Structure formats: structure tokens, C-alpha cells
Amino acid sequence: MRDLGPTPDQAVGESEQAALLWGRIEQLPERQRDVIYLRFFVDDSLENIATALGCSIGTVKSRLFYGLAKLREITNQEENRDGMAGTCEAESIRTI
């Protein structure tokens, strides 16, 4: 039987990318961070997020939009500072 899991090198790379992404998410304002966490890490619906946070669906969408835009901005700033343009991790944030 063949193991279909990631290789050790792939697992380390994914772990490093996750840590880098989470560090960027932590830079967001709390309200944006909460919505992004609930939407992408918990995979919650917009309706459930609105209920959990006590706000409208429109507010959830707005926080999500501006939070993702801020993540892209942070990523671009870090790429320019560190010369990391073209990494797979950076591409994944741009496509969110």
C-alpha cells in the first residue's frame, strides 16, 4: 500500500507557510482577523459568522473584503522587503 501523505520536506514547507500566513493574519485588526479565521480556518458560513459576532452579513462581507485586501498588502510589503517575490505562499494569499 502506497502512502499518499506529504513527504517530510513537503510537511515542513507547509508548516512554515502556515506559520508565515498566521503571522500576517495576526497583524490584522481583531474584527477582520476574527472573520477571516471563522471563514477560512473554521469554514463557517457568512450567516453563522454574522450570528456569532452579532453583526449583519454585510458587515461580515465588508470585514472579509478589507481583511483580505490588507493581507495582500502585508504580503506585498514583506515580499518587497525580503525579496520573496514568486513564492508559492505569496501566490496563495493573492488568490484568496
Whether residue 89 lies inside any domain: the answer is yes
At residue 89 the predicted structure's pLDDT band, cuts being 50, 70 and 90, is low
Identify the pLDDT of residue 10.
73
The yes-or-no verdict on residue 8 having pLDDT over 80 is no
Grid cell 493581507 is found at 71
Whether residue 1 lies inside any domain: the answer is no
Domain count, the chain: 1
Whether residue 47 lies inside any domain: the answer is yes
Number of CB atoms found within 10 A of residue 17's CB: 16
The CATH number given to whatever domain includes residue 49 is: 1.10.10.10
In angstroms, rounded to a whole number, what is the distance separating the alpha carbons of residues 74 and 72? 5
pTM of the predicted model as reported, rounded to 2 decimal places? 0.71
Whether residue 76 lies inside any domain: the answer is yes
pLDDT tens digits, one per residue of 31-88: 999 999 999 999 999 999 999 999 999 999 999 999 999 999 999 998 888 775 545 5
Please give the average per-residue pLDDT across 11-34, as a whole number: 89
Whether residue 2 lies inside any domain: the answer is no
Boundaries of domain holding 74: 31-94
